[in-house]
Amino acid sequence: MITVQQVITLMEQLAPRSYAESWDNVGLMVGDRNVVVTGVVTTLDVTEETVEYAIEQNCNLIVSHHPLIFKGLKQISCDTAHGRTINKLIQHKIAVYSAHTNLDIAPGGLNDMLAKQLGLIDIKGFIKTGEEALYKVTTFVPESSADAVRLAMGDAGAGRIGNYEHCSFSIHGEGRFVGNEDSHPVIGAAGALTVVPEVQVNAIVDGTHLSKVVAAMKAAHPYEEVAYEVLNIVEPTSSTQYLGRVGRLPNALNLDSFREWVQEALPDANIRFAGIVPKAIQSIALCSGAGAEFIKDAARLHVDAYITGDVKYHEAQMAKELGLLVVDAGHFGTESIVAHGLRDYLISAGLAVPVKAFTEQNDFFFV
């Protein structure tokens, strides 16, 4: 049996919550993380149509890119589409998990999906967003309690390395202490030197789970006063996080061929061009969704074209001034691929329940 939490764990192996921007809302939006999953629907947005599809397919978990709940809710009323959607989710006991900017940033996430869809090669990060903070937590515990402390730390999020969990390293040694008259030692007596066979337990943890791990470690530890230390680990360059991607097409194209290339790769896109057309187009920067704010960054890289969505008038004017070709493939056009991308990821991760991709129609814009 697969629970909602187990699917969340798979999602956060792909897109850790710590990658999300501070203004974002990601994670479990609705539902019980302990419920057994009958099936999963992956989607860009959680709409009434998405929920109806989940009901039809007997799926009780929806994994979306755009958060179902973004800002604080003041009411849930069936007078609104959003209210009806949440009400129906609750009535049918369907959980919703959303991965937004953390999925945009994550290696293998939406921007890598978009670069792959466009056939780019030599792909690198575009806009640096930060580096993952990692810590090493070390504590000293009697041998008889070491397993309980390791388990508590691991359950709280320590020791996650790639596809492995509960990773730790231990060293056996000898602990010595003398309790004062106000102490109540678990081992030994107050005022006497006590020597205890102890285990030094070491585990790494990311910044998101650090406080939970320390609290869990203290709760499981038998000592009245817990000795421990937390060290910041300097991350290698490979841990740097980026929004968007930069790459190149296998061959240089003229504008007409490039237009056909993008349209074939992104069939849901209503493509518009702005700026200046170069003689040949091969080097590409991209950012899924609304990435017009990075037009200057793309121009500084001297790429031949920048692909994103939601480009406004003055941003198009700026692209012309900077001598950059900007391709506005639309918010929906650059992100609708996420439904199939997440479905393929969860299936390849070995999720043993049905996984269905729901791609809604872009029917709110029309010609």
Chain segment 51-63, per-residue pLDDT in tens: 999 999 999 999 9
Is 196's pLDDT higher than 70?
Answer: yes
Is 238's pLDDT higher than 70?
Answer: no
Closest among 342, 351, 345, 338 to 5, alpha carbons compared: 351
DSSP states of 45-110 as a string? Answer: S--HHHHHHHHHTT--EEEESS-S--S--S---TTSHHHHHHHHHHHTT-EEEE--HHHHHSTTSH
Give dist(CA 333, CA 266) in Å, integer: 6
Q: Give the three-class secondary structure for 253.
A: strand
pTM, full prediction: 0.73
Report yes or no: 269 and 334 within 8 Å, Cβ to Cβ.
yes
Which is it for strands 27-30 and 305-309: parallel, antiparallel or unpaired? unpaired
Is 367's pLDDT higher than 50?
Answer: no
Give dist(CA 180, CA 157) in Å, integer: 35
**Confidence band for 236, pLDDT divided at 50, 70 and 90:** very low
User: Taking every pair of C-alpha atoms in the chain, what is the biggest distance, in angstroms?
Assistant: 86
Q: Which pLDDT score is estimated for 153?
A: 96
Q: Which pLDDT score is estimated for 362?
A: 62
